[in-house]
Chains A and B, each alone.
Chain A
Amino acid sequence: MASKVIHAIYNDDDLLLQGVKQVREARYHIGEIYTPMPVHGLDKAMGLAPTRLAITSFLYGVVGFVVSVAMMNFIMIEDWPQDIGGKPSFSFLENLPAFVPIMFELTVFFAAHLMVITFYMRSKLWPFKQAENPDVRTTDDMFLMEVDVANHDVDELTKFLYDTGAAEIKLIDNK
Chain B
Amino acid sequence: MKKTIIKNKAFRSINMYTLSSKLKLTAIIFMIVGAIGLVIGFLQAPSDLDDVREIIAAEGHHGEASHQDAAEANFADAEHGVLLDDEPGRNADENEAHSAEAGAHDAEHLEHKLHQLQNKPWAAVYVAAFFFFMISLGVLAFYALQYASQAGWSPVLFRVMEAISAYIVPGGIIMFVLLALSGFHLNHLFIWMDPEVVAHDEIIQNKTAYLNVPFFLIRAAIFLGGWFVFRHFLVRNSRRLDEATDNAYFKKNFKLAAGFLVFFLVSESMMSWDWIMSLDPHWFSTLFGWYVFSSMFVSGITVIALVSIYLKSRGHLPFVNNSHIHDLAKFMFGISIFWTYLWFSQFMLIWYSNIPEEVVYFISRIENYSLPFFGMVVLNFVFPLLVLMNSDYKRVNWFVVMTGVIILIGHYLDVFTMIMPATVGESWFIGIPEISAVFFFGGLFTFVIFNALTKAPLLAKRNPYIKESEHFHY
Q: What string of 1s and 0s marks CB contacts (under 8 Å) between B342-354 and chain A?
A: 0010011001101
User: How many angstroms between the C-alpha atoms of A58 and B390 in the bound complex?
Assistant: 10
Q: Which of A54, A58, A86, A97 contacts B347 (CB 8 A)?
A: A97
Min CB gap A104→B, angstroms? 9
Q: Which of A54, A58, A98 contacts B352 (CB 8 A)?
A: A98
Q: Check if B102 is an interface residue, CB within 8 A of chain A.
A: no
**A100 touching B344 by the CB < 8 A rule?**
yes
Min CB gap A167→B, angstroms? 30
Q: Check if B389 is an interface residue, CB within 8 A of chain A.
A: yes
User: How many angstroms between the C-alpha atoms of A86 and B344 in the bound complex?
Assistant: 20
Q: What string of 1s and 0s marks CB contacts (under 8 Å) between A85-101 and chain B?
A: 01000000000011010
**A97 touching B348 by the CB < 8 A rule?**
yes
Interface residues of A in 101-127 (CB under 8 A from B): none
User: How many angstroms between the C-alpha atoms of A54 and B351 in the bound complex?
Assistant: 35
Min CB gap B281→A, angstroms? 26
Interface residues of A in 20-77 (CB under 8 A from B): 54, 58
B352: A residues at CB distance < 8 A:
97-98
Q: Is the interface of B mostly helix, strand, loop or mixed?
A: helix
**A58 touching B389 by the CB < 8 A rule?**
yes
B348: A residues at CB distance < 8 A:
97-98, 100
User: How many angstroms between the C-alpha atoms of A86 and B356 in the bound complex?
Assistant: 14
- In this complex, how many residues of chain B approach chain A with their Cβ under 8 Å: the count is 8
A86 in contact with B354 given A58-B389, A100-B344 (CB within 8 Å): yes
User: How many angstroms between the C-alpha atoms of A58 and B388 in the bound complex?
Assistant: 13
Interface size class of A (residues with CB under 8 A): under 10
User: How many angstroms between the C-alpha atoms of A86 and B348 in the bound complex?
Assistant: 15
User: How many angstroms between the C-alpha atoms of A97 and B346 in the bound complex?
Assistant: 11
Min CB gap B361→A, angstroms? 15
Min CB gap A102→B, angstroms? 12
User: How many angstroms between the C-alpha atoms of A98 and B350 in the bound complex?
Assistant: 11
User: How many angstroms between the C-alpha atoms of A98 and B389 in the bound complex?
Assistant: 26
**A97 touching B351 by the CB < 8 A rule?**
yes
User: How many angstroms between the C-alpha atoms of A100 and B354 in the bound complex?
Assistant: 17
B351: A residues at CB distance < 8 A:
97
Min CB gap A50→B, angstroms? 10
A98: B residues at CB distance < 8 A:
348, 352
Most buried by B among A54, A58, A97, A98: A97
Min CB gap A68→B, angstroms? 16
A54: B residues at CB distance < 8 A:
391
Question: Residue on A with the closest CB to B348?
Answer: A97
A97: B residues at CB distance < 8 A:
344, 347-348, 351-352
B347: A residues at CB distance < 8 A:
97
Question: Residue on B with the closest CB to A101?
Answer: B348
A58: B residues at CB distance < 8 A:
389
User: How many angstroms between the C-alpha atoms of A86 and B391 in the bound complex?
Assistant: 44
Min CB gap A108→B, angstroms? 12
Interface residues of B in 351-367 (CB under 8 A from A): 351-352, 354
B391: A residues at CB distance < 8 A:
54
User: How many angstroms between the C-alpha atoms of A168 and B37 in the bound complex?
Assistant: 80
User: How many angstroms between the C-alpha atoms of A27 and B391 in the bound complex?
Assistant: 32
Question: Residue on B with the closest CB to A87?
Answer: B352
Min CB gap A103→B, angstroms? 11
A100: B residues at CB distance < 8 A:
344, 348
Min CB gap B341→A, angstroms? 10
Min CB gap A85→B, angstroms? 9
User: How many angstroms between the C-alpha atoms of A58 and B347 in the bound complex?
Assistant: 27
User: How many angstroms between the C-alpha atoms of A55 and B34 in the bound complex?
Assistant: 46
A86: B residues at CB distance < 8 A:
354
Q: What string of 1s and 0s marks CB contacts (under 8 Å) between B129-170 and chain A?
A: 000000000000000000000000000000000000000000
Min CB gap B362→A, angstroms? 10
User: How many angstroms between the C-alpha atoms of A104 and B351 in the bound complex?
Assistant: 18
Min CB gap B358→A, angstroms? 14
Min CB gap A11→B, angstroms? 27
Q: What string of 1s and 0s marks CB contacts (under 8 Å) between B319-354 and chain A?
A: 000000000000000000000000010011001101
Min CB gap A49→B, angstroms? 14
User: How many angstroms between the C-alpha atoms of A98 and B391 in the bound complex?
Assistant: 32
5 tightest Cβ-Cβ pairs between the two chains A and B? A97-B348, A97-B351, A98-B352, A100-B344, A100-B348
* Selected A-B contacts with CB under 8 Å, 12 pairs: A54-B391, A58-B389, A86-B354, A97-B344, A97-B347, A97-B348, A97-B351, A97-B352, A98-B348, A98-B352, A100-B344, A100-B348
Residues of B participating in the A interface, judged by any CB pair closer than 8 Å: 344, 347-348, 351-352, 354, 389, 391
Residues of A participating in the B interface, judged by any CB pair closer than 8 Å: 54, 58, 86, 97-98, 100
Can you add 10 more A-B contacts, CB < 8 Å, to A97-B348, A97-B351? A54-B391, A58-B389, A86-B354, A97-B344, A97-B347, A97-B352, A98-B348, A98-B352, A100-B344, A100-B348
